[in-house]
Structure formats: structure tokens, C-alpha cells
Structure 1
Amino acid sequence: MRKLTIIGGGFGGLTAAITAAEAGTKVTLYESHRTLGGRARTAEGPYRTNEGPHALYDGGPHWTWLKQRGLLGALAALPPTEAMRFRVHRDGAVRRVPPLGMLRLARRTAEQAPVDVDFHTWASGVVGERTARQAAAYSAVALFHHDPGSLSARFVQERLHRATSLPPEAHYPRGGWGELIDRMAARAWEMGVRIETSSRVDALPADGGPVIVATALPSAARLLGDPSLTWESGRTVLFDLALRTRKGDPFVISDLDAPGWIERFTAQDPSLAPAGQQLLQAQLPIGPDGTKADGVAHAERLLDLGFPGWRERTVWQRASVSQGRTGAVDRPGTTWRDRPAVDRGNGVYLVGDQVAAPGVLSEVSFTSAVEAVSLALRADHLGHLDHVDHPDHVSHLDRVGHLGHTTRAS
């Protein structure tokens, strides 16, 4: 492929740019913000917050891809003493262990759960209604949705299974996700990718060349003039808090009475806050009529139970509502295959965490990015068979195409 335009410089856009450049393509990437990263951007200043909790799951294909290219970097290691401070809130109290029935349910793979039945109904038949409700609430750490039990059992069970795996699949880049984005951007520059920041694109390029749109779904719908580009996502209050350090604070409080999660990120990465302070990031899903105040009040109730004197220790805080920016959720009877297709026709491809690609959290952006590049390469190859005369190009095309096929079928 001679050239490719990418609109959006987040995790998916950078993945696509590196993948295409490795195949010998001339890539230009446009990002409307002054810095790269999208939702993977890490805030500047003394508190290195992400836009909501972020984790890399080592069971996904993007882990191997990043590792092969030396892009993983240093990972924050959780001391064993901190791991022992994992807490759950259930039946109105903070406890040290989750229900055993929930752990038994979590051992089941996603393939053991039906697609066309909601999670609450299916799980209630396995472990009872009460435990099913608590398991659904726990799964919200990877869903950002106020009612996980109403979603497809297969969809929720995959996230429950992976979020409770031992050893844990979740890992965190030291210094925040911005460090990972910086490494990916440097790799793209080294590969010859032209990156234009502070460059908003309001129309597709007039030259008709292949374009990858790696933006949030609502932005893609506006750019492409296609209102059908919609899919349900979560609605979540993000609550960030810096406290003066106190020994004995929990590492995590997972609310099993109502979906909610508070994590002390400096337990594993002290560099995220100034010395003597600890950074907490919480996500509290809210329904369609919920408000930011509702989510903050939920967080405060959990803090009152698990973080003694937190109000007097607070040195900084902020709260916001994230709507339609937390990945796709699948209702009963639907899977990732039913989401907006990657291939939009006429040389336009869609990348992001709400499109037709498998995976959990950032894995969806990754697999859709690899798939988009694979499709674009193959379309260009078929359209220019008479001009392909370099065997290495064909060989690399086959390798990228095989990866794209594998990720869609997984």
C-alpha cells in the first residue's frame, strides 16, 4: 500500500500507524488534540491520572504485539502486602473475601455462558440470585455499566473470568498510560509516520486513498455522515482523589452491592503522586438518569467505610462523567460481530473500542486496528496486482493479513 491516512492518535490509531508503516506504507496521522493518546492520555502535573482506570491484560493479543516491539516498558509491580489489602463491599460492610460462589462462577469460561440470555438470569441458575447479582457488580470493573446483569451472559462472563484470574492478568505501565503512548509515538516516528497534532479533520481526504478513522464512535459518525454508527456503552462517574498517606488503607474496594470500584494506584506505582500522598481513582457507573453527584456520593460512602479520615487527608480531587467512552456493551442476543463493521466500504475503515472486533477494554481497539490495516493492505494488493513486484512486500502482507484474520475469529 502506497499511502494511508489515519484520523485519531489514540491507542488504536497508533497501533494502526505502526502496523501499516511496518508493511512499507507511507502513513500520515492526524490528531485534533495537541497531544496523542485519546482516552489513554495521562494528565500532566503532580497527579498522573488516566481517564478512568486503565489496565493491560496479558491474556490479550496486544500484550504480545507490544512486547515484541519493546513497547511495554516498565510495569508497576504490586507488593504482596498491598495485594492482601483487596476488599469487597457487600451486605453493607467492607469484607476481606468475596463470596465463594462468585469465585466458583468466575472459574467458568465465557464459552460456558449463553449469548442470548442475560447474565443475571443465567448466573442465578448456576449460583443463585444473590451471588449472581454480586458477580455482576464485580464485573463492572471491566464494563463501566450500571446494570451488568442485564447484558449478554457470554459478554459479562468473559470479563468476570479474566478480571478474577490468578495470577492477575491486569498490569499497569509505570508512570501511567501516557508513557506507553510516548513509546508508541516514538516507534511510529522511527518508522517514518508523519504525525500532525492539533489538526482537526472535518472531511475525508479528497484524493480517495484509504482512510482509517480511529476516533470515538460519535465523532466517526459525524465525520462519515453515517448516523447508523452507534452502539451502547456505559455511563460512569470518574472520581479522582489524592490523600495524605496513611498506613493500612485498602488497595481496592470493589462494591458488590452496587457496581463501583475504588483503586489506590500508588500502591503499585508511587510515581503517580507526590511523596507522602496517594492517588485513588474510582469509577462509579450510573444509569441514564443518574448525575455526577450520585456517583460522587456513592464513592464517598465507600471511602467512609474503607479510608478512615479521608476528608481531612484530602489534598486534591476532581470528578467527571464519562458517557459513551468506555467501550461497547453487548445486550442478550448480540456479540462483537454485531457492532459497527471495521470495513465501511470505499476504502474507509473504522477503529475503536466499540466496533466489530473481539477483546476486553483496549484489546478491542488493538484488534480493530490490526484488522483495518490488514483489510486496507489486501484491498490495495488486489487493486494493484500488476504493480506488486517486491516479494518481501507480499510476504509481509500475508503475515499482517493472517494476524487480522486470527483476531477476528478469536
Structure 2
Amino acid sequence: MGGGLAGLTAAIACAEGGAAVVLHEAHHTLGGRARSTATPYVANDGTHVFYSDGLPWRWLDERGLVRPYAPLRPGHLARARFRRGGRLTGRPPAGLLRMILRRGLKAPVDEDFGSWATRRFGAEAARAAAGLLGVVTYDADPGRLSAAFAWERIQRVFALRYPSVRYVIGGWGRVIDRMAARARDLGVRVETGSRVDRLPEGRVIVATSLDAARGLLGDDSLRWESGRAVLLDLAVRADPRDLFLVSDLDEGGFLERYSLPDPSLAPAGESLVQMEMPMRPGEPKAVALGRLERIADLALPGWRGRVTWRRDAVAAGRSGALDLPGTSWRDRPAVERGDGVWLTGDQVAAPGLLAEVSINSALAAARAALASRSLSRRAA
């Protein structure tokens, strides 16, 4: 139930294991938050990249679902900057650099990241790291999160090695199209526009948001902390002065001209830019957009006169799980719900970074469903 990244992963894995699978998707198109807009401006629903150093990428790549792709290149990184003190710089604070270079250090689960990082690396480095984490948490105050949760993301995403970031040519919508085609080739019956308000008989994998899962499963405990951010997509006429990436150490914002590694995403002579700014508690959308546009002013000179396409949105509870002090991924809503029902998605009890949680949880659910007896106790 659900035709996003988790639902399609589960459907493929179950069908590969010999199960007869029906996939229900309430919308008329598949993809969920992995959808992309149609040409000529191919924008993802939020900041999307794959990381090639984990199981989810390997699983997708083995099935030919993420090629061709473009990696980050040294020339791209040469056009990356940090926003610090309201200005752009090519160098992070020395304390933040020491933090990024530190390997083998374990952070505690039961202490907040701000306190732990300040004690280990100093207040300036801790504040800068919190800004760096805005793009992967969608949270205005990452210092409040579990130190172990935040530290894992710093070590994984920002380590100074050749980046494992991969951009699928044509956007994430291409991945969804390939996943849907593979599912159908395996015999999965894909039903779009199929809104289901109660669990069908048999083994069921629920691959919806936690909000929808609460209603389907009648379980109000299916809740977890998530982020809230404003998103801005811009298409601008190309200018050689435009930067590729800005990481905002002041406020946690982020800008990426992601048509640079994949020019197919925008018409010739134009650039496609995606921006994100975590929203403060109670902050109106217009105010958060204003803060985000100040980053565009620095990274894209004269952008307001070059805009050819624009859209903005608020992403609330759509950015994956955030683990507070004293919790880890193991404490999130369990994949196994009992009676032949499993729950998947980016906020459940599975490891990984952002969308990787969806894939890992879907694979775990598929393995369990295939291993279960032919009929659940509920169906029997």
C-alpha cells in the first residue's frame, strides 16, 4: 500500500521472491516524494541525491535502476562556498574542519549534539556544524538532536573524501519509472488511483506516511520527530558567475545548482537551482523564503532579472526521521506490526540516511513477508 520509493522497493523485492503482489497507490502517478516535475524543468520534490556507499544504492544499481548517473567532480566543488557571517567563503571555520577530519570518534545517543560538540570542538565549530546539518535534517536547530544521530550524518555526508554523491541523469522521476517497469515485468499488478481505507486480506506492507499509517492501522503511537523547511526551485538564464553550491553555516540553508552535473534537467542556456531553508518555530513561509532568497542574492548575481521558472513549497514532516537525545533508529515505529502487517518509510525503525531508510525498511519488510506463512493470523 503506497507507490513511493518504499512501496516500489517492497513490491519488487517481494515479486523477486516469488510472491504475487498488488500495489495500491492513491494518486494517479507513482513516486510519492520521489516524483519529479515534467520537462523542460525537471525538479525533484525537495533536495534529492543518492549516496553510493550504502546498501540502498547497491540494491538499486544491481537492478539497473539508477544508471546513467553523474558524480560530483572537482570542478563542481571548486564552485562551492560556505555562508558565514553573512558572507561567502571557501573555507569553513578551523574547528569545523577539525571536526570533519576526526575519524573513529563515537558520539553518545543520550546527549544533545550542541552540548557534546561544544565540549569536544568548541562553540564556534558546534554552531557551524549545526548550520551544515540543515540540509540533511530540515531542522532549524540540529543542536537539539541526539549527538549520535547528528555525528553519523556529519561523518557520512561531509567527510573530506571523494564524495559518494550521485545524481541520476534525468532526475528521480526516471528512477521511479524504471522501478515501476521492473515491478510490472515481475508480474506486480500496479493500481494507481486506488485509495484504500482499510487493510486488505493477506500479507500487507504499508508504505505510506506515518500520518496515513496511523489511520490505516488504528495506532496513534505511529509518530516521530521530523523536520520543517521551505523549498524554492528556480530556473535562471545561465551566468558564468553562478556558484554550484552554498552551505549556509549561519542559518542552515542550502543552495545547489544541480543542473551543473546534469544539464538535461533544464533547457539549453538555463540553470536549475534548488534551495532549502529550515523554518524556525512559528515562522511564516514568506519570512523563511526571504531568508532563503538572501542566499540566492549571494550565489546567483542578479538572479531576480534572470528567472524563467519558479516554484516554492513547505516541507513539513516529509524529510525523514529526526532522533532526539536518548533515541536511535531502533526506537522508531517498528517495521513488524504483527498479524501479517509490516510498516515501511523514512521514519521507521531502519538505519540509513534520509531516503535510504525507506529502502532499508522496505527490504526488511519484504524479507519478513516472504518468510512468513502463507496466510497471516488476521486473514485466517
Partner AA of 1:103 in structure 2: L
Q: CA separation in 2, counterparts of 1:269 and 1:289?
A: 36
Match in the other structure for 1:406: none
Q: Percent identity?
A: 52
Displacement of 1:107: 3.3
Displacement of 1:9: 0.5
Which of 47, 50, 67 is 1:53 aligned to? 47
Which of 329, 336, 342 is 2:322 aligned to? 329
Q: Deviations over 1:206-229 (max 9, x none)?
A: x3x110010111011112221111
1:178 aligns with 2:173: yes
Structure showing greater relative contact order (alpha-carbon pairs closer than 8 Å, 6 or more residues apart) = 2
1:286 aligns with 2:279: yes
The SS at the match of 1:283 is strand
Q: CA separation in 2, counterparts of 1:326 and 1:79?
A: 26
Match in the other structure for 1:247: 240
Spell out structure 1 runs of 4+ moving beyond 6 A. 381-384
Query: Which ranges in structure 1 are unaligned for 5 or more consecutive residues?
Result: 1-6, 385-410
Match in the other structure for 1:359: 352
Match in the other structure for 1:310: 303
Which of 192, 200, 222 is 2:195 aligned to? 200
Question: TM (normalized to structure 2)?
Answer: 0.96
Q: CA separation in 2, counterparts of 1:237 and 1:145?
A: 11
- Matched positions, count: 376
Match in the other structure for 2:59: 65
1:14 aligns with 2:14: no
Displacement of 1:43: 0.8
Higher mean C-alpha displacement, 370-379 vs 71-80? 71-80
Query: Which ranges in structure 2 are unaligned for 5 or more consecutive residues?
Result: none
- Answer whether contact 2:340 2:376 (CA < 8 A) is retained: no
Q: CA separation in 2, counterparts of 1:77 and 1:349?
A: 35
Q: 1:282 to 1:29 in 2, by over 3 A?
A: same
Match in the other structure for 1:119: 113
In terms of fraction of residues, the more helix-rich structure is 1
Question: TM (normalized to structure 1)?
Answer: 0.89
Match in the other structure for 2:164: 169
Match in the other structure for 1:131: 125
Q: CA separation in 2, counterparts of 1:110 and 1:326?
A: 28
The SS at the match of 2:135 is helix
Q: CA separation in 2, counterparts of 1:372 and 1:22?
A: 14
> How well do the aligned residues superpose, as a CA RMSD in angstroms?
1.6
Which of 28, 33, 47 is 1:34 aligned to? 28
Q: CA separation in 2, counterparts of 1:295 and 1:356?
A: 31
- Answer whether contact 1:292 1:319 (CA < 8 A) is retained: no
The SS at the match of 2:314 is strand
Q: 1:111 to 1:128 in 2, by over 3 A?
A: closer
1:221 aligns with 2:227: no
